[in-house]
Amino acid sequence: MDPLDIEETDDWLGCPTPLEMYKHSCHMLENEVQELTTQLRKARQDIFGLVEMHATEAKECARLRAELDKAKWAWNSEHLRYVELMNRSNGERVANSTLIAELHRQLKVYEGDRLPDDIIPSPRPR
């Protein structure tokens, strides 16, 4: 294309000059930098808030874990006490049943056949 065929548009009414276009572009970039700086400041504040929330929740989690450990220990000690009481109770029941059976046998020896066998119910399996 011949350079003479290209029109010079710098002097047209309403067309910006290259300097005006550079100034406008610079102004748009300044606005964008200002907006990004504002967004960055807000993001940093949000991150700081989240870090504080995490620290608070981590402390609460540690406190609850300690409380759970204490509750588990209490439950275990109560369960151990329950098992000991059940074992003692079962042992005493067996000892009592044995004693009653022995006393019944001795009474039967003294009384002879006059004592019925069904006075003592037979032990029921659990």
Q: Which pLDDT score, from 0 to 100, does residue 5 have?
A: 61
Q: Which pLDDT score, from 0 to 100, does residue 29 have?
A: 97
- One DSSP character per residue, 51-113 reads HHHHHHHHHHHHHHHHHHHHHHHHHHHHHHHHHHHHHHHHHHHHHHHHHHHHHHHHHHHHHGG
- Domain annotation covers residue 34: yes
- Domain annotation covers residue 10: no
Q: Which pLDDT score, from 0 to 100, does residue 108 have?
A: 80
Going by pLDDT thresholds of 50, 70 and 90, the confidence category of residue 57 is very high
- Domain annotation covers residue 22: yes
- Domain annotation covers residue 51: yes
Going by pLDDT thresholds of 50, 70 and 90, the confidence category of residue 17 is confident
**The domain containing residue 49 runs over which residues?**
17-114
Q: Please give the share of the chain, as a percent, with pLDDT higher than 90.
A: 63
- Domain annotation covers residue 7: no
Q: Which pLDDT score, from 0 to 100, does residue 45 have?
A: 98
Q: Which pLDDT score, from 0 to 100, does residue 62 have?
A: 97
- Domain annotation covers residue 59: yes
- Domain annotation covers residue 126: no
